[in-house]
Amino acid sequence: MEHRLKSLTNDQKEQFEREGFIIIKALFSPLDLSIIEETFEEISHQRIPGHFEPMLDQDSYDPLKRYPRVMHPHKFNDIARKYMLHQPVLDVLADLYGEEALAAQSMFYYKPPGSRGQALHQDNFYLKVEPGNCIAAWTAVDAANEENGGLLVVPKTNQYEIVCPDIADERESFTSHYVKPPKDQKAVPVIMDKGDVLFFNGNMVHGSYRNKTKDQFRRAFICHYANVSATHISEYYNPLYRADGTTIDLERNPDGGPCGIEFEVVYPH
């Protein structure tokens, strides 16, 4: 077995266990980021059925109609697959899991100016990884803050059970599910620089602000992973990928699906 230096200190691993999340600074280099930016700029001018279906030739009151999220780009784009399997990310995940990680999902969010955020939710409600849990690796392709729609997390909810969500406010969230934080706990902003990666547990309650800026995109490359000892996952996420690009199918868990269910129809308010 290949030996490597530990990616994380004991303090970092303890923080993840205690708080449910950790930020690793500059895990993607400027060159990595420029390649990701170019790749998704090219994708933004295409229609890829089942993965990315923008309204390219007409205006809309909703900027997310022109720039919806890209779902599973690793299934049609080699660069997306390469960075889903970015070795520095897999090394951190191996330390967090204590075993190999399997890549289950990739997404790209453009988050254009004026676009709604995503209401608080829990990822493993959708992925249904068991035994074990999913972990998200949320990469800031642009700096993320409270103004341009950065992420919100509710610390320590990694120990909170998966709950049945309520209906979100469609004026502020493009997805329909909302998980209320536990009593006496509240969401806090996560401030990130370009190239930083936020890792968080699948039970962690999290979401994002609306992008309140007039001229800033808040792009993010987001991937989800499962522990190699997991046996079940929602069918939407098969096949999973090992570090070398080979695939593996886990047993199908009923229910689950894409991470966050979009409102069917959104009316202007």
Cβ-based neighbour number of residue 161 at 10 Å? 8
Residue 7 pLDDT > 60: yes
Provide the pairing of β-strand 70-71 with 101-109.
antiparallel
Q: So what's the pLDDT on residue 258? A: 73
Mean pLDDT of the chain: 93
The predicted model gives 69-75 an average pLDDT of: 97
pLDDT band, very low/low/confident/very high, at 267 (cuts 50, 70, 90): very low
Residues 6+ apart with CB under 8 A from 195: 25, 26, 27, 28, 29, 30, 32, 33, 139, 140
Residue 58 pLDDT > 70: no
201 CB-side CA count, 13 A: 23
Q: So what's the pLDDT on residue 56? A: 87
Q: How far is CA 109 from CA 5, 131, 223, 263, in A?
A: 32, 29, 11, 17
Residue 269 pLDDT > 70: no
208-248 confidence digits (pLDDT tens): 999 999 999 999 999 999 999 999 999 999 999 999 999 99
- What is the model's pTM? 0.93
Residue 260 pLDDT > 90: no
> Between these two residues, 256 and 73, which has the higher pLDDT value?
73
Q: Residue type for 234, please?
A: S
Class of domain 10-53+64-251 (CATH, top level): mainly beta
The predicted model gives 93-119 an average pLDDT of: 97
Secondary structure letter of residue 223 according to DSSP: E
> Among the listed ranges 25-34, 51-60, 88-97, which one has the minimum average pLDDT value?
51-60
pLDDT band, very low/low/confident/very high, at 16 (cuts 50, 70, 90): very high
